[in-house]
Amino acid sequence: MMFAPAAIAEHKMTAEDLRRDSRNCVRTGPCGIGEKAVYLNSFFVDRRYYVMWQDIGRVFKRVAMSRGGFTGKGVFGSIPYLVVLLKDGTERQCNFKYEDEVDLFLSLVRSRHPEIPTMSEKAQARMEEERAREEARYVKDLTPQAQASMEELRRARAYLDREPEIPAFLSVTAKEKRITDRMNPWYRYAALAIFLLAVGSVLFGIYAVIRQEGYAVYFVLFGMAFIFYTMSAQVLPTGRNNRRYADGRWQKALRQSGEYISRYGDTGAAPSAVSGSPAAPVSGTGGRPDSAAAGAVSAFPLPAQYAHPATIDRMIRVIREGRAQTVEEAYEVMKKDLRAINSDVTVSQVEYDEITAIKPMFLLCGYREEPVFAE
């Protein structure tokens, strides 16, 4: 390999192993996850370095917020980083463009190496405090019906964890489509006009430089500044930033999710038919919860458009709090809770991560259970 990734920790791979592992790694943003190592970027080059799994002590996300980031305003609201803490105490920080890519990276780490912590020590301590407060709200002695419902949901969650890329892609595309659908088209036209004027300014500046005009440098500098501004605002209409592209990705995510959960009963992960089972599975193709279908071994307990681990976690929490006994009841209570959450409601960090992951999917589908696939 001409530009082989360089090792930044104690253990190293042979050239052949490195070539094979880096070529087959799962690429997530500028980094990657292989069988033997994770691949990290430099400031300019993607997957420039690698760290073998046995050298990693902790992997977590860090978000740097600008002043505008706290108000939800400003072009540079937040900058996500992936932080890899090595066992020798050194730390490697990788900048990402999209926070969702960091979340997917951490999700893959959890699924492949659950022994590696994916939170900082401070965040883990806060999480333990939140978990203790949450445990105090749970019912101590659940009914057999509630316990059976929780067990069914846990099996379904374990099934989703086998392919974390599928629910992660569903969440990412839902956010993209929501942003694209809600964006005023006049913003795009204005951005395009500014961009074209900026390009014209740069071209005129270059022409003026050739003619040795004294003011030429100002046209070039201001033109380049506005070009970078419109590009960083992510409003400029491009081949990947338009409604048709966002809708296509959303429909692709729906198809992947529907196909994956339709195989749920074929894997042995689905619950076996139990007499008097409280479960009310939902059609694997996005159907409505149907109590008449209870005991159907092949049914996944969520519609395809909401098949995400965070959805199941919230349903399990509803049952543990004693607010539901069956899967169907937990699903309805979970939807009611999700509807009630808005910008005025204060939630924990765990709930915030769950809500931002799944609420765009529910808003896009209007909280319906009917299939939402394109014709």
pLDDT in tens, 18-76: 999 999 999 998 999 999 999 999 888 899 999 999 999 999 998 875 444 444 444 44
- The whole-chain average pLDDT of the chain stands at 81
Q: Three-state SS string across the chain, please?
A: CCCCCEECCCCCCCHHHHHHHHHCCEEECCEEECCCEEEECCCCCCCCEEEEHHHEEEEEEEEEECHHHHHCCCCCCEEEEEEEEECCCCEEEEECCCHHHHHHHHHHHHHHCCCCCCCCHHHHHHHHHHHHHHHHHCCCCCCHHHHHHHHHHHHHHHHHHHCCHHHHHHHHHHHHHHHHHHCCHHHHHHHHHHHHHHHHHHHHHHHHHHCCCCCHHHHHHHHHHHHHHHHHCCCCCECCECHHHHHHHHHHHHHHHHHHHHCHHHCCCCCCCCCCCCCCCECCCCCCCCHHHCCCCCCECCCHHHCCHHHHHHHHHHHHCCCCCCHHHHHHHHHHHHHHCCCCCCCCHHHHHHHHHHHHHHHHHCCCCCCCCCC
Inter-residue contact 198 to 150 (CB < 8 Å):
no
pLDDT in tens, 131-145: 788 788 888 888 999
pTM: 0.62
pLDDT in tens, 169-195: 999 899 888 888 877 777 677 777 888
Residue 217's pLDDT band, with cuts at 50, 70 and 90, is: confident
Give the rounded distance of the alpha carbon of 93 from its chain centre. 19
* The pLDDT value given to residue 7: 92
* The pLDDT value given to residue 277: 33
Beta strand 78-86 with 56-65 is antiparallel
